[in-house]
Structure 1
Amino acid sequence: MKKWAFVSDFDGTISKKDFYWLVIETYYPEGKGLYKKWKAGEMQDIDFLSHVFQSIDQHEEQIIQDILSLPIDEHVPSFIKKVQENGGDFYILSAGTDYYIHHILKHYGIQNVPVFSNKGYYENKNVHLSIDESHKHYSRRYGIDKSKVISDLKEKYEVVYFAGDSEPDSHPANVADLTFAKDVLQELLKENNVPFVAVESFQQIEDFLHEKGTI
């Protein structure tokens, strides 16, 4: 069994902005109404995202340029290296799509980071999701069941840390050994009596793990 792994959500946790908001603000203002319907529980998460990602209508060069304009937590690349140098494996776990995540990782020179996410591809000026309903991590609501991924990783590692910021992250937080929570995830975990460490940045996560002697 391996010693430890650090698993992080992407949108709003590694990135400072969700990719779907960038798309809505730049190309699809009608998406604000769709966002309200989704938040009111009238749409599944994966249906909302699929609709937004198929409303970009731009050539791939432009979409990639937009992806690379997403601001990320500046400390993430060095934090990932620290994890890897100290015997840990780093994973990204996202209910968005691996399409934009891989572009970001490449852009920042981040290597050896497996991505668990919904498969995405460019076609006809938009980003499409390819959801495999027979996959063991499949979720009707999110496309990917984050808690199942964490459960699988817990069979390989002695300790699994998790970082997230929003509602989809409340489920894997129940399974991880320790969760670092940003933004609304803090309130959700409080309400459900799930223990967590409140953070605003990866620098704070690193400081915590440094104090524990993990890195």
Structure 2
Amino acid sequence: MERWKRGEISSRECLEIECSGVRVSPREMEEFLRHFELDPTFPSFVQYCRKEGIPLYILSDGLDFYIRYLLERYRLEDVPFFSNRLCFSDGRLVPEFPYFIPSCGMCGNCKVAHIRRLRREGDLVVHIGDGLSDRFAAEEADVVFAKGELLEYCQNTGLPCRPFRDFRDVQEALPDLRGREVPEGRGRRCPEVPLLEGARPING
């Protein structure tokens, strides 16, 4: 993980290394995930977006197994998400990368490509993130809500962002963004990323 944070290896390489050292069955993995919870403000945020007609997607450089498990547990399985895949082979974890961009190679799942493909003309793209894997998506988005390592990255690089604690903060801020003009000049780090035409959500 530290080598990835220092930029010595890609997130794909980091995930492959992490998975290679784990031996676990799907059942054992589910038992492990029982101890994890979603942000308790996320379900109501999903309902708000639905009510207001705001498209919502989960973009993750993690693995579909635990994302799907948590969404189903909270009855949010219809929220579309794009992530890497996890397969099990003889007790081994084998990650797959359906949204990998070989010409770049920095991320297992290219969030920038998803944003560019899903963006409609005139859309104001809002990115909500808390990790270092959100940094390229944050530079592509028009408005960024950040905490954790993403907030630290934005502060260190001068990337404009709005600090947040949970999804209530984001929900309270969204009405003021309605009708806001789409700024220019974002996407500075990934100018040549393909659009992943025809890509479907992992759960789509």
Scaled by the length of structure 2, the TM-score of the pair is 0.77
Among 79, 87, 93, the residue aligned to 1:127: 93
Q: 1:170 to 1:116 in 2, by over 3 A?
A: same
What are the residue-to-residue correspondences of 1:29-178 with 2, within 5 Å?
A: 35-132=1-98, 139-155=104-120, 158-178=123-143
Aligned to 1:90, the other structure's residue is in SS state coil
Q: How many equivalent residue pairs?
A: 179
For 2:103 and 2:57, locate their aligned partners in 1 and report how far apart those are by CA, in whole Å.
18
Structure 2: 5+ residue stretches without partners: 180-204
Note if contact 1:132-1:138 (Cα within 8 Å) is conserved in structure 2: no
Note if contact 1:160-1:178 (Cα within 8 Å) is conserved in structure 2: yes
Q: 1:139 to 1:112 in 2, by over 3 A?
A: farther
For 1:212 and 1:40, locate their aligned partners in 2 and report how far apart those are by CA, in whole Å.
34
Q: 1:126 to 1:78 in 2, by over 3 A?
A: farther
Aligned to 1:117, the other structure's residue is in SS state strand
Higher relative contact order (CA 8 A, sep 6+): 1
For 1:108 and 1:123, locate their aligned partners in 2 and report how far apart those are by CA, in whole Å.
28
Please report the RMSD computed on the Cα atoms of aligned residues, expressed in angstroms: 2.4
Q: Which moved more, 1:35-44 or 1:76-85?
A: 35-44
For 1:141 and 1:158, locate their aligned partners in 2 and report how far apart those are by CA, in whole Å.
26
For 2:75 and 2:122, locate their aligned partners in 1 and report how far apart those are by CA, in whole Å.
26
CA deviation digits over 1:36-84, x for unaligned, max 9? 3333443322112122223331221110121232232111111111101
Q: 1:130 to 1:162 in 2, by over 3 A?
A: same
Amino acid at match of 2:157: N
Match of 1:208 in 2: 173
Match of 1:188 in 2: 153
For 2:57 and 2:102, locate their aligned partners in 1 and report how far apart those are by CA, in whole Å.
15
Amino acid at match of 2:63: T
For 2:73 and 2:18, locate their aligned partners in 1 and report how far apart those are by CA, in whole Å.
24
Post-superposition offset of 1:211: 5.2
Note if contact 1:137-1:144 (Cα within 8 Å) is conserved in structure 2: no
Q: What is the identity percentage for the equivalent residue pairs of Structure 1 and Structure 2? A: 25
